[in-house]
Amino acid sequence: MANSKYEYVRFFEQPDNLLPNTWIVVRIDGRSFTKFAKKYNFGKPNDRRALDLMNESAKSVMKELPDIVVAYGVSDEYSFVFHKSCTLFERRKSKLVSTIVSTFSAYYIHHWLSFFPSSPLEPPLPTFDGRAVVYPSLQNLRDYMSWRQVDCHVNNLYNTTFWALIKKGGLDNEDAERELAGTLAKDKNEILFSRFGINYNNEPEIFRKGSVVFRSYPTPTPPPKSTAESLTPSSLLATVLADLNLPNFPNNPSFNTKSSAPPPPTSRDFPPACPAPLEPTEKQGDIPGAPAPSTSPSAPIPSVAGVEGNEHEAETPAPSKTAAQKDLKRRQRARIVVEHVDIIGSAFWEERAWILTGRTP
């Protein structure tokens, strides 16, 4: 930056680096999407084309930014998660939020015609706003992801029932709102099933559970065992001796492995001057100064950082520069997938441990 008398103005910029060693979540939301959805005739209560467009845009953002470890989307919102060790843009909040928002908006417009080929975009174009929140612990992050998925279920159940009352029940918006006021989940399920024959559990999972975007890595296959490794000790011995071309093997008495053991030595086998071996008179625990053998169970192995239940999330040493570059290249080559699964339980996270550890498998 050139030195000039005007350079002082840069001191008005305030630092906005997010707290280190915390999980960063950047959540974006569609701006004025109620009007936008009405303008382009989005289906109610869900438009699969619009959801697939959101997912494709999120995949494109993850391709552009390998530092994102996982993303979760529902309706017109998406949450992008950066690992607690992330140093992208020196963790500057404004840079992270503006990059996610602008990249997502650009790809949303770019992919639009692939999902709405007969409805070209016209101004005002779709845009998104964003915010960044940091979470200090893994439990906080898991609770945030669970909160968003629970919100997806609650909103979708309400909207499914609301639009069933309008489209199939003949009610207007105000009457449908009054009928659903104060109802519980079981009441909405009963309305759907008893009046309209709709089993909510049979609704598409993308509507009920939202979308999870993450990197998938191929499972390494173990190398085949060699011939020697696949043999048992007895068969291995038989193979070796057979290779020696011994006569009448395995009936050769010289190599009868089942022959009786030789008789124990007698006193005549020892020289007269050799004294008999002495029996030990002390055990390890009786020797002065020697520690007694431990009878307590072994100490538990410390859990790896990122594993559920590790309250303090033990830190793993930072990788070397070379290792970090190799890890980045693996993330760039990884396949980005979209699944509609439960992320409240632990199964999803345990089966894909690399998401929370931040290290590629």
Q: Which pLDDT value is given to residue 322?
A: 81
What are the structural domains of the chain? 13-148+210-216 (3.30.70.3000)
Determine which of 63-67, 127-131, 274-278 has the lowest per-residue pLDDT on average.
274-278
Kindly provide the b/e burial profile for residues 284-305, where b requires at least 16 CB atoms within 10 angstroms of the residue's own CB. eeeeeeeeeeeeeeeeeeeeeb
CA 329 to chain centre: 18
pTM, two decimal places:
0.74
What digits encode the pLDDT tens for the residues 59-87?
A: 999 999 999 999 999 999 999 999 999 99
Q: Which pLDDT value is given to residue 318?
A: 64
- Is 182 among the annotated ligand-binding positions? no
Rounded to 10 degrees, the C-alpha dihedral 85/86/87/88 comes to 180
Rounded Cα distance between 256 and 242, Å, is: 13
What digits encode the pLDDT tens for the residues 311-351?
A: 445 455 666 778 778 888 888 889 999 999 999 999 999 99
- Cβ contact 144:135 at 8 Å: yes
Q: Which pLDDT value is given to residue 277?
A: 45
- Is 47 among the annotated ligand-binding positions? no
- Is 76 among the annotated ligand-binding positions? yes
- Is 29 among the annotated ligand-binding positions? yes
* Long-range contacts, 66-70 (Cβ 8 Å, 24+): 66/328, 66/331, 66/332, 69/214, 69/215, 69/355, 69/356, 69/358, 70/212, 70/213, 70/214, 70/355
Residue in the block written with tokens 């080929």: 117
What digits encode the pLDDT tens for the residues 192-236?
A: 999 999 999 999 999 999 999 999 987 766 666 655 555 566 665
Q: Which pLDDT value is given to residue 130?
A: 98
Q: Which pLDDT value is given to residue 355?
A: 94
- By percentage, how much of the chain surpasses pLDDT 70? 71
Rounded Cα distance between 102 and 97, Å, is: 8
- Cβ contact 23:142 at 8 Å: no
Residue 271 has pLDDT above 90, yes or no: no
Residue 115 has pLDDT above 50, yes or no: yes
Rounded to 10 degrees, the C-alpha dihedral 241/242/245/251 comes to 90
Q: Which pLDDT value is given to residue 291?
A: 42
